[in-house]
Amino acid sequence: MRLSARFIALIPLAILAVASPTPVRRYAKRGALETNLINPFAVKLETNPVGYSSYGGGGTGAKKREPESEYAKRGDPDDGDVAKAAKRGDPDDGDVAVAAKRGDGDDDDGDVAKAAKRGDGDDDDGDVAKAAKRGDGDDDDGDVAKAAKRGDGDDDDGDVAKAAKRGDGDDDDGDVAKAAKRGDGDDDDGDVAKAAKRGDGDDDDGDVAKAAKRGDGDDDDGDVAKAAKRGDGDDDDGDVAKAA
């Protein structure tokens, strides 16, 4: 009688397992049927095979619906799952760990380790190690070692060694050795040796040897020998021999 009673109790459970295996398996996972052999109709009450089936069991007009644990489980980015959609390591979801992490090799996210790190060879990000380092061969960044170093052959940066050095053959920089040196053949720089030297044949510089020398045949400089000499045939200078 004992064996028969246990066998009879297991018959409804076997029937349910054959008729609707899916809810049995799922509820077995969730613990509904693991030990509940006393009330075998617990699954039937949950699945309701007549009017509504939560898990797709049999019945007229049954509607299929996934359990909450399946629908919104973590790991699916389409359902607003926080664990995946914003998990760290994904740069397109505002992930702090990758989008702005330091040293990721991406300088468009304000990464300090790369965008402005020193010595990265990029001078458009305020990199001190390159943009303004001394001796980098780039004079447009205030590089002292090149832009204003002496003797670099560049006179547009206030280079003392070339721009104003003496004897460089450049007289537009106040070079004393050429621009105002004496005897350079250039009289527009106050050169005493030529501009005002006597006897240079240039009477527009107050040259005594020519402009006012006597007997030079030029009467517009008060030359006594010609302008006022008597008998020269010119009566506009008080020439006695002709004017009177």
Residues 239 and 216 in one domain: yes
Nearest one of 222, 205, 204 to 213, comparing CA atoms: 222
Domain carrying residue 97: 74-115
Q: SS3 breakdown of the chain: % helix, strand, coil, rounded to 5?
A: 45, 0, 50
Both 82 and 57 in a single domain? no
Exposed, middle or buried: residue 96 (CB in 10 Å: 0-12, 13-18, 19+)?
A: exposed
- Contact assessment for residue 205 and residue 195, using Cβ atoms and an 8 Å cutoff: yes
pLDDT exceeds cutoff 60 at 8: yes
Torsion of the alpha carbons at 145, 147, 148 and 152, rounded to the nearest 10: 80
Q: Report yes or no on 147 lying in a domain.
A: yes
Q: Does residue 56 share a domain with residue 13?
A: yes
Helix (H) or strand (E) holding 48: none
* Residue 61 included in any domain: yes
pLDDT at 30: 46
pLDDT of residue 4: 72
Ramachandran bin of 28, using left for φ above 0, alpha for ψ from -120 to 50, beta for the remaining angles: alpha
Classify 216 as helix, strand or coil.
Answer: coil
In terms of domains, do 85 and 47 share one?
A: no
pLDDT tens digits, one per residue of 39-61: 555 444 444 444 444 444 444 44
Residues 81 and 48 in one domain: no
Residue 180 resides in a domain: no
Residues 156, 131 within the same domain: yes
Given 115, 144, 178, the domain boundary residue is: 115
38, 64: one domain = yes
Convert the pLDDT of each residue in 16-43 to its tens digit. Answer: 665 554 444 444 444 444 444 445 554 4
Average pLDDT, whole number, for the chain?
54
Predicted model pTM? 0.12
Give tens-digit pLDDT for 59-76. 444 444 445 555 455 555
Do residues 6 and 60 share a domain? yes
User: Does 64 lie in the same domain as 9?
Assistant: yes
Determine the Cα–Cα distance for residues 58 and 49; give it in Å rounded to an integer: 5
Which residues are paired to 64 by β-bridges? 55
* Residues 157, 111 within the same domain: no
Neighbours of 143 (CB within 10 A): 19
80 confidence band (pLDDT: 50, 70, 90): low
Residue range 84-140, pLDDT digits in tens: 555 555 555 555 555 555 555 555 555 555 555 555 555 555 555 554 555 555 555
Residue 217 lies in a domain: yes
Residue 228 belongs to a domain: yes
Query: In this structure, is residue 178 part of a structural domain?
Result: no
Is 200 part of a structural domain of the chain? no
Overall domain count for the chain: 4
